[in-house]
Amino acid sequence: MSMRKILLLNGHPGHTSLNKSLAEAYRAAAEEAGHQLRYHDLSQMEFDSDYGLGGYANYKPLEPVLETFLTDLEWAEHVVITTPLWWGMLPAKLKGLFDRVLLPGRTFDTRNTSLIGLPAPMLSGKTARVILTMDTPPLFLRLAYSNAVKKILTRQILGFVGIKPTRFTSFAPASHPKENHLRSWLKKVSDLGTRAA
C-alpha cells in the first residue's frame, strides 16, 4: 500500500459531534498506517465566512487559519471531509470556508478556459472522500432529492477546482444512532483511513 498525503477536515461547526468522532477515527487509522495527514477542525477555525465585497480586483486577504488550510489543500493528494447534511446542504460555515479559500489564481484559472468557457482547474490530480451524516435515508436522498448535495460537491465545488473523483460514504439516521450502528460506522471509517480511501 502506497503512503498518501491527506488533508482531513471535520466540517461540523460544533465542538462535539458525530462528524468529529468519525474524523478522529479516520485520523487515528490513517496515521497508524503511516500516511501523512494534516487535520483541520472547522469548529476551531476563526474566520469571516462572508466573501463580502471581495472580488478579483478587490481581494479580501485570508486569515492565517485559511491560508494554512489552502496551503495544506495544495499539498494534499487526497481530501477527506466529514460533514452533516443540514436542510439538504452543507453547514453555512463549511460553505463559507469554500467561498473564502477556493480562490481564482490558487484553485482555478480564469485566464485559461475550456472550449465551453469554464476556468481551468488548478488542483487536478487530487481525489476526495466525503463522509456524510444525515437523517435522510440514502434511498430518499437519491430518489426524492436527486442526490443534490452530492452533485454540488462533486461537480460545482470539488470537481470545479480539479479534485476528482469524489466518493461518498453516508451514515443515517445520524441524530440518535444505535450503539451497534455507531460501532459499525467508526470501524468503516477506520478502514477507510487505513487505506487512505
Find the radius of gyration of the CA atoms of the chain. 17
Domains of the chain: 5-195 (3.40.50.360)
Count of CB atoms situated within 10 Å of the CB of 154:
20
106: its cell numbers: 490558487
Q: Burial level of 2, CB count in 10 A (0-12/13-18/19+)?
A: exposed
Element (H, E) at 133: strand 127-133
- The CA-CA-CA angle for residues 188, 192, 193, to 5°, reads 115
Q: Residue 139: what pLDDT?
A: 84
Please say whether the dihedral angle defined by the alpha carbons of residues 17, 96, 98 and 90, taken in this order, is positive or negative: positive
Cβ contact 24:185 at 8 Å: no
Please state, in angstroms and rounded to a whole number, the distance separating the CA atoms of residues 86 and 88: 5
Please state, in angstroms and rounded to a whole number, the distance separating the CA atoms of residues 150 and 21: 22
Please state, in angstroms and rounded to a whole number, the distance separating the CA atoms of residues 159 and 130: 13
27: its cell numbers: 485520523
Q: What is the pLDDT along the chain (197 residues), one digit of tens a residue?
A: 689 999 999 999 999 999 999 999 999 999 999 999 999 999 999 999 988 776 667 778 999 999 999 999 999 999 999 999 999 999 999 999 999 999 999 999 988 887 788 899 999 999 999 999 999 988 888 888 899 999 999 999 999 999 999 999 999 999 999 999 999 999 999 999 999 99
> Comparing C-alpha atoms, which of 189, 187, 185 is closest to residue 177?
185
